[in-house]
A and B are shown apart, each in its own frame.
Chain A
Amino acid sequence: MRIPTLLLRQLMRLVLLLACVSSLTFVLMSNSPIDPVQAYIGADMLRVGEEQRAAIAEHWGLNEPPVQRFFTWLSAIVRGDFGTSIIYRQPVVEVIQEKFMSSISLLMIAWLLSGFIGFAAGVAAAMKRGTWLDRIIQWYCYALSSTPTFWAGVLLLLLFTVWLPIFPVGLGTPIGVRADEVSWLDRAYHMILPAITLSLVGVSHIALHTREKLIEVLSSEYITFARAKGLSGLQLVWRHGLRNILLPAITLQFASFSELFGGAVLIEQVFSYPGLGQATVEASTRGDVPLLMGIVLFSTCFVFVGNSIAEWTYRIIDPRIKEWYKHEA
């Protein structure tokens, strides 16, 4: 199939998916016992009269039947209007954009780090199969999958800000400085610890996968022959092993956007990092329905992009190699 056709089909899938997720979300929300007006008013309850409440409900169209509300909401979304965030008093799109911009560097660094570290650890474990190094790496990966992400964050926070005060106690920016005056160095400094935590949590899947694949490759006939040619050790793995395991690893890493986003929600909460994850938590604890719905749809797109790239890595690379991978799978 040609690339444009594929792109179009992928786009169709996204639209269908978003329609499904948004109707699911809407059904959930409209059956929710939470009163959006009350959530909006919050602490000002006592000072707001009955008429004002009715006016707010009217303004949001809360008195109309759910189906009509759904289509009003849907048509607004199609026009790119996700409504106004209650907490930030700003259009949802702007809030998400701003918060995501703040999160994206954290996400990218953690994603790259976990990919590299996990891949390297997997290769090391497979090459030293059966040794203490292999056992430690495996044990670490399994232990990590049982560790609550946020607890790992709390422990690192405890370690690096209280016992060994190297890093600041969170907050994306120093206190008392306006957001636009913060230098990138300061930002980076505040981002290191959350990024490291998020990446440490993400290595286990890729490391175990890489280890298993490489062990499989190392027992293959072409590796035996490469050894007969006199290759050994790192040279052997570099020339004959890596190209055969790299692509599945990259694919897996792209398919992990869902865990990455979930991890960011928890880690941003632990380190009070002002990103999209924290906004998700705030939206839910403070009843910001439009923002929460916006974030649900946005994160779905985020995961979809990752999964699509994962599927597409096979098409993007050399078609001849693609043939072989397809044959193997």
Chain B
Amino acid sequence: MHLLDIHQLSIAFESYDFRMRKRTMPVIRELSLSVQAGEILAIVGASGSGKSLLAHSILGLLPEHAAISGKLTFDGQPLTDRRMRQLRGNQIALIPQSVQYLNPLMRVGQQVEEAVRIGNPKLERQKVFERFRLPQAAAAMYPYQLSGGMARRVLVCIAAVSGAKLIIADEPTPGLDEQVAQDTLLVFQQMADQGTAILFITHDLTAAAQIADRVAVLHSGELMEIAPASSFTGEGTALVHPYTRALWQALPQNQFIHVKGWQS
């Protein structure tokens, strides 16, 4: 059974122009995908392709003027607004995409501790800091005192201590140095091995192909293709959609082929 099932999800933003006429701007169109427990599903797309909105829509965090349609199911039951509020933070956790998501006026340790659901917050926090190689002294610091990489790791810590069944990681690796980025990916893999489902949202196709089981490719709000990670090898002949193939082939370590009409 799928842990999370997204069926025909569409998101649009409603706004009013200066003559008070309603305008709708679609950002995600009829998207369907699903994740199983223990699986890493990567969602790859350029910026502006609606990746972050997808993450926020699963958590019920979209702004008020967003119009949403479609069906979400979590753990076999429909994911209503109310259920989203109950589940977020304990069944579904978010790793946000920027350090701006840390409260600038709260000590980092406290921000990690308040996400702990089971066990002693302080103890859990110490354990998770150790696991992600953060110095214990960092707990008493404010976000602006941390380096970019440390702050990123704090964000990952917050998701890790929640014990959630599904972790939505929204661009967790940029800004991390190579070693730490690899460590983070490794941790995702460990968590997935322990049964956590991970929605890994990224624009880095290489990283996606490296750790994900399947890769979904998003282009201007539409799902192009969901392919097994094993398809992303060689010249990408196993890939069905020309956009996906173009994306893969354009990577520097591949052929670096510029394909007209698919650059966004």
Contact = CB atoms under 8 A, between A and B. Distances in A.
Is A in direct contact with B (CB under 8 Å) within the complex? yes
Interface of A: 219-222, 224-232, 239-240, 243-244, 320-321, 323-324, 327
Given A227-B61, A324-B144, A222 B101 contact: yes
Interface of B: 56, 59, 61, 63, 85, 88-90, 93-94, 96, 98, 100-106, 114-115, 117, 142, 144-145, 158, 162
Contact of A229 (B104, B144, B145, B162): B162
A101 B162 CA distance: 56
9 contacts: A222-B102, A227-B59, A228-B88, A229-B88, A232-B85, A244-B104, A244-B105, A324-B105, A324-B142
Main secondary structure of the interface of A (DSSP, over half): helix
B106 A243 contact: yes
A230 B90 contact: yes
Nearest to A232: B85
A226 B101 CA distance: 8
A228 B94 contact: yes
Nearest to B142: A320
A325 to B, nearest CB: 9
A231 B111 CA distance: 12
Contacts of A320: 142, 145
A234 to B, nearest CB: 15
Contact of A230 (B89, B96, B101, B105): B89
B145 A228 contact: no
B96 A225 contact: yes
Nearest to A328: B104
A-B pairs, top 3 by smallest CB distance, nearest first, are A230-B89, A225-B101, A228-B94
Contacts of A232: 85
Main secondary structure of the interface of B (DSSP, over half): loop
A238 B117 CA distance: 19
A327 B89 CA distance: 30
B172 to A, nearest CB: 13
Contacts of B117: 230
A223 to B, nearest CB: 8
Contacts of A227: 59, 61, 88
B148 to A, nearest CB: 16
A324 B93 contact: no
Contacts of A229: 88-89, 93, 114-115, 158, 162
A323 B117 CA distance: 32
Contacts of B158: 229
A290 B63 CA distance: 62
A159 to B, nearest CB: 41
Contacts of B61: 224, 227-228
A225 B94 contact: yes
A191 to B, nearest CB: 37
B17 to A, nearest CB: 21
Nearest to B141: A320
A243 B88 contact: no
Contact of A323 (B59, B88, B103, B144): B144
Contacts of B88: 227-230
Nearest to A239: B114
Nearest to B100: A221
A220 B59 CA distance: 16
A227 B59 CA distance: 9
Contacts of B100: 220-222
A228 B96 contact: yes
A242 to B, nearest CB: 10
Contacts of B162: 229
A237 to B, nearest CB: 12
Given A224-B61, A229-B114, A243 B105 contact: yes
B142 A228 contact: no
